[in-house]
Structure 1
């Protein structure tokens, strides 16, 4: 039986030294488990929005930073990409889709564990859709400590039994160190 997978904000604007491994891990997880449907969220930092006004951060406000990363774009169908701004969590259009499809459980992967992944998982929980976080397919742009903090909060709020591994980490908890070729 296939299960839905939600890929949260895996876009070029969030790829750094702490998250560079996530697109490849997600692609491997998709190939192994044949999730369906494959759903994506895309963060778009709106001009004069709270990130710009309060945090002086203007990233992810246009392409290519708002695109789905190249490693995953072949998996993304345009009508299954749900845009969101800020920490709004679960976009209304995605909540409507899940309701219409009668989805009761969804696997979640993505960036940032301590922000958007956490918020969306808790929003899903609140609408009685069981979120299952694939911990080895999530990371935070702020590093391992932020990722672990997000997992700790998720464990408390949605239950530790909902934090699982996809089995694609190759033994690395943090982002693997890239070596010069």
Structure 2
């Protein structure tokens, strides 16, 4: 049985964000999610939706991810998303919108493992918001299960900033996930 105090949040692994620079992370995320779900753990996917008049459109002149197929979770993860604890739709960077906060409260999660796309924006913001959420929630950023569609330099910048915001010990690799601590002896 899985320790119900931990959740894996898979951030925005959507067709519109998977490009040459970020595609390598999809199989890593599939592996982490499949192992997490096989152990009985809670998994939440986020799905970003842009909209006309958003700050992304207004300030960045960016009007992508407004409709399918760009907004769809990548095909490799659909079977896992269908079995997820929740799929949170969002129009902001972070998982911590009204629905995300309600999920954290109702499930009593104490550890949030974050991975996905893009390390320097939505993954970073989710990890930092988890840190800021309260003393009872501990963020973990899974470095090799995160990537940036803007390339390696943006990913590395996100990791650097995350280590400054949430602590260098909170940046881990998928192989560092403490599966033994997360699973309880039956």
Give TM-score scaled by structure 1 length. 0.87
Matches within 5 A, 1:22-171: 22-33=25-36, 34=39, 36-77=41-82, 80-87=86-93, 90-128=96-134, 129-167=137-175
Q: Quick one: distance in 2 between partners of 1:4 and 1:123?
A: 15
Q: 1:139 to 1:160 in 2, by over 3 A?
A: same
| Contact persistence 1:108–1:133 (CA under 8 A) | yes
Deviation (angstroms), 1:83: 1.0
- Show structure 1 runs of 5+ residues with no match: 169-181
Equivalent position to 2:16, from 13, 34, 44: 13
CA distance in 2, matches of 1:137, 1:93: 24
RMSD: 1.8
In 2, Cα distance between equivalents of 1:88 and 1:167? 25
The answer to whether the 8 A contact 1:83-1:91 is kept is no
Per the TM alignment, residue 35 of structure 1 is displaced from its structure 2 partner at its CA by 6.0
- Structure 1 residues 89 and 4, CA gap change in structure 2 (3 angstroms): closer
Which residue of 2 is the match for residue 177 of structure 1?
A: none
> Tell me, which stretches of 5 or more residues in structure 2 are unaligned?
177-186
Separation (CA, whole Å) in 1 of partners of 2:40 and 2:52: 35
TM-score for the superposition, normalised by structure 2: 0.84
More helix by share: 2
Q: Distance in 1 between matches of 2:94 and 2:140?
A: 20
